[in-house]
């Protein structure tokens, strides 16, 4: 599919990430901070569910913007203005994150739906008469259908709101898998979206770095708040940083996130970036939260154990989906690592009242570090 528009990307610059895209990502530094604090302040099953729903909306807003920039020329004034408007809406969403299930519900929903409508309308105008405009028309219909659920949930009490918003998330996330089909209207199958693998890979790498950066912010803030940097705190900081570094190592250096090779079909890119990276970014956020909890609490609780083991587990789920989508294999080593993390989590929950925090930290670090070492060894022999 050849895409032509005065606002479209030149073919020779298709894969480049423009400065305005990096500027847009700055809002998501704040958004991830807000998501982390939302879970930290509501460390319960209900708090976890609310955080997941809010994260799903935040991620989808970022994801659809990243995909739109596949085709838009970031050096054009109209595109930069669109990005600025979307950035302001994303900032409004981020401000409302702590109160999305309270007084800030309309700011959160309003900004999210504004982004969801403004993007496809702009794309339909920019590429009118072309297949891409038709694609975005079908996407807009699905967005409006999900939007009805987001708005309906905003009228309800928080408990019912959660159920309705779960349905809204399902509709939003099911749209690409359903190829945006609408009975009697048409559809937009994945092969009609001419996405660029290199551009998407770079965009997702950058947002993953932002998620990892939240760990640095939380660790540094906790150390400053403590006021005294004693040997115990220093050891906890070292283990927290080691866990963060190993997660980075697994993603960038070892886990097959090289865009060369693998399937470049849009269906594969959809699974690898729209869905798999949602789990990996969420896993990085959970790692940041667990690091802060272990630094600021002298004793483990069930919630701390679950978040500590759950962060790498969620990341591995996304990593497996990524490798399966792009390279067609299931990464047995990651399933083994996930199984060990589940065992650690179960043992930790059963013994939380007597288990030293450092033992849990070392156990999880041994699994993620061992996986990194194993993958590095395998790559060494393949190369």
State the CB neighbour count (10 A cutoff) for residue 13: 12
Residues 229 and 310 in one domain: yes
Task: Please say if the pLDDT value at position 28 is more than 70.
Answer: yes
Task: Please provide the average confidence, as pLDDT, over all residues in the chain.
Answer: 90
Give whole-number Cα distances, 233 to 139, 216, 226, 245, 300, in Å.
50, 15, 9, 18, 15
Rounded to whole angstroms, the Cα distance separating 265 from 256 reads: 17
Whole-model pTM: value is 0.92
Residues 332 and 213 in one domain: yes
Residues 234 and 187 in one domain: no
Q: How high is the pLDDT of residue 19? A: 94
Report, as an integer, the average pLDDT of 51-56: 97
How many domains does the chain divide into? 2
Residues 178 and 322 in one domain: no
Q: How high is the pLDDT of residue 5? A: 76
Q: How high is the pLDDT of residue 259? A: 44
Q: How confident is the model at residue 253 (pLDDT cuts 50, 70, 90)?
A: low
Residues 300 and 218 in one domain: yes
Higher pLDDT among residues 12 and 136, named by residue: 136
In a domain, 2, yes or no: no
Q: How high is the pLDDT of residue 256? A: 47
In a domain, 8, yes or no: no
Rounded to whole angstroms, the Cα distance separating 191 from 324 reads: 19
What proportion of the chain, given as a percentage, has pLDDT over 90? 69
In a domain, 102, yes or no: yes
Task: Please say if the pLDDT value at position 310 is more than 80.
Answer: yes
Residues 122 and 214 in one domain: no
Which of these three, 157, 192, 227, is where a domain ends? 192
Task: Please say if the pLDDT value at position 236 is more than 90.
Answer: no
Q: How high is the pLDDT of residue 152? A: 97
Q: How high is the pLDDT of residue 252? A: 78
Residues 168 and 277 in one domain: no
In a domain, 319, yes or no: yes
Residues 234 and 317 in one domain: yes
Q: How high is the pLDDT of residue 383? A: 47
Q: How confident is the model at residue 379 (pLDDT cuts 50, 70, 90)?
A: low
In a domain, 219, yes or no: yes
CB 197 within 8 A of CB 260: no
Which of these three, 192, 216, 241, is where a domain ends? 192
Rounded to whole angstroms, the Cα distance separating 198 from 196 reads: 6
Closest CA to 215 of 188, 242, 250, 197: 242
Residues 178 and 239 in one domain: no
Q: How high is the pLDDT of residue 58? A: 97
In a domain, 4, yes or no: no
Residues 226 and 188 in one domain: no
Q: How high is the pLDDT of residue 254? A: 52
Residues 58 and 186 in one domain: yes
Which of these three, 192, 215, 249, is where a domain ends? 192
Q: How high is the pLDDT of residue 381? A: 53
Looking at residue 270, the DSSP 8-state letter turns out to be: I
Higher pLDDT among residues 201 and 85, named by residue: 85
In a domain, 213, yes or no: yes
pLDDT tens-digit series, residues 259-273: 444 566 889 999 999
pLDDT tens-digit series, residues 77-126: 999 999 999 999 999 999 999 999 999 999 999 999 999 999 999 999 99
Task: Provide the phi-psi class of 328: left if phi over 0, else alpha when psi is between -120 and 50, else beta.
Answer: left
Residues 128 and 80 in one domain: yes
In a domain, 266, yes or no: yes
Beta bridge partners of 8: 72
Task: Please say if the pLDDT value at position 331 is more than 80.
Answer: no
Report the range of poorest mean pLDDT among 23-32, 170-179, 218-227: 218-227
Report, as an integer, the average pLDDT of 136-140: 97
Domain that holds residue 102: 14-192
């Amino acid at each position: 599919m050849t895409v032509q528009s005065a606002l479209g990307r030149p073919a020779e610059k298709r894969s480049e990430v423009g400065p305005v895209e990096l500027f847009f990502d700055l809002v998501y530094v704040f958004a991830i901070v807000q998501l982390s604090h939302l879970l930290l302040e509501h460390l319960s099953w209900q708090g976890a569910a609310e955080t997941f729903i809010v994260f799903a909306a935040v991620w989808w807003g970022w994801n659809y913007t990243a995909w739109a920039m596949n085709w838009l020329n970031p050096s054009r004034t109209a595109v930069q203005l669109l990005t600025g408007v979307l950035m302001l809406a994303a900032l409004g969403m981020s401000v409302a994150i702590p109160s999305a299930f309270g007084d800030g519900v309309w700011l959160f929903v309003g900004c999210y739906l504004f982004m969801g409508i403004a993007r496809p309308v702009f794309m339909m105008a920019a590429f009118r008469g072309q297949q891409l405009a038709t694609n975005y028309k079908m996407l807009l219909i699905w967005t409006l259908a999900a939007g009805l659920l987001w708005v309906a949930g905003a009228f309800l009490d928080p408990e019912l709101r959660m159920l309705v918003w779960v349905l809204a998330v399902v509709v939003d996330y099911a749209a690409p898998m359903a190829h945006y089909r609408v009975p009697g209207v048409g559809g937009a199958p994945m092969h009609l979206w001419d996405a660029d693998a290199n551009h998407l890979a770079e965009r997702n790498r950058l947002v993953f770095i932002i998620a990892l950066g939240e760990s640095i912010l939380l660790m540094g803030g906790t150390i400053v708040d403590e006021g005294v940097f004693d040997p115990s705190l220093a050891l906890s900081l070292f283990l927290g940083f080691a866990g963060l570094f190993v997660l980075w190592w697994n993603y960038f250096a070892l886990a097959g996130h090289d865009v060369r090779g693998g399937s470049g079909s849009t269906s594969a890119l959809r699974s690898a970036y729209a869905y798999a990276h949602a789990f990996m970014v969420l896993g990085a956020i959970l790692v940041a939260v667990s690091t802060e909890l272990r630094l600021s609490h002298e004793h483990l609780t069930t919630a701390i154990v679950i978040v500590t083991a759950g962060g790498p587990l969620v990341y591995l789920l996304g990593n497996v989906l990524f490798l399966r989508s792009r390279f067609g294999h299931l990464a047995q080593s990651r399933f083994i690592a996930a199984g060990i993390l589940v065992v650690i989590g179960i043992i930790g929950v059963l013994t939380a009242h007597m288990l030293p925090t450092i033992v849990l930290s070392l156990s999880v670090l041994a699994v993620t570090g061992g996986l990194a070492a194993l993958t590095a060894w395998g790559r060494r022999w393949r190369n």
